[in-house]
Structure 1
Amino acid sequence: MTNISRDSDVVELNNPPLYNYGQRVRARRTVRNDGTFMGKEIGEILCNKGDEGYVVSIGTFLQQFYIYGVEFVSTGYRVGMKRKEIDPVEIVKEI
């Protein structure tokens, strides 16, 4: 039997999303088109490590992960990012 590699054993959907709509985030790594971004060739860069953008949508993937639609300021591209691929730019303090 084949071993299935998963990003994590944790099901993120058991908790609320980590990021909120409108939150400013930064890419932790360079992301390339995997074939799901229309109008760009497979392998073409969609965002570079350090690019900043805003969360404009929150969806799910495989009933396990949140996917954050991040609109990057420098390119205007909206890229689906996993939690581990982005960091908050500003830490929000709760009162």
Structure 2
Amino acid sequence: MGTKISRDHDIVELVNPPKFEYGQKVRCNKYVRNDGTFPGREVGDIIVNKGDLGYVTSIGSFLQQFYIYGIDFYDLGYRVGMRGKELDLIEDAHDADDDIDDEAYVEKEPI
């Protein structure tokens, strides 16, 4: 009896808008191993741990089927391409702007 491998061949994410936007803070929800595309590390090495935090810095696609999000894992010092299902939204970039106190802002008059 062989191992059942889950495939996403029937899913085409690109028919919908991306799940994440530039600047959003995300958390990795699984351990991610190097599939051979991460330079300087052995295939199979864990390159991102479950719970690591990062920011969306790019949005691309793979096989005209999946969105790939470039995530800057600032504590690790590098970026990794991730699938949307590997990430959870922590903070919307627009929500961070809402924290600014408008009353505290004082416009200076020109000299």
TM-score normalised per structure 2: 0.74
Match of 1:12 in 2: 13
CA distance in 2, matches of 1:56, 1:76: 13
Larger radius of gyration: 2
SS in 2 for 1:46: strand
Residues 64, 90 of structure 1: alpha-carbon distance in 2 compared, 3 angstrom cutoff: same
Match of 2:39 in 1: 38
SS in 1 for 2:71: strand
The structure carrying a bigger helix percent of its residues is 2
SS in 2 for 1:39: coil
Structure 1 residue 11: deviation in Å?
1.1
Residue 46 of structure 1 contacts residue 77 of structure 1 at CA under 8 Å; is this kept in 2?
A: no
CA distance in 2, matches of 1:9, 1:83: 16
Unpaired runs of 5+ in structure 1? Answer: none
**Misfit runs of 4+, over 2 Å:** 90-93
TM-score normalised per structure 1: 0.85
How many aligned residue pairs are there? Answer: 90
The Cα offsets for residues 26-47 of structure 1, whole Å up to 9 and x where unpaired, read as 0000101110001111111111
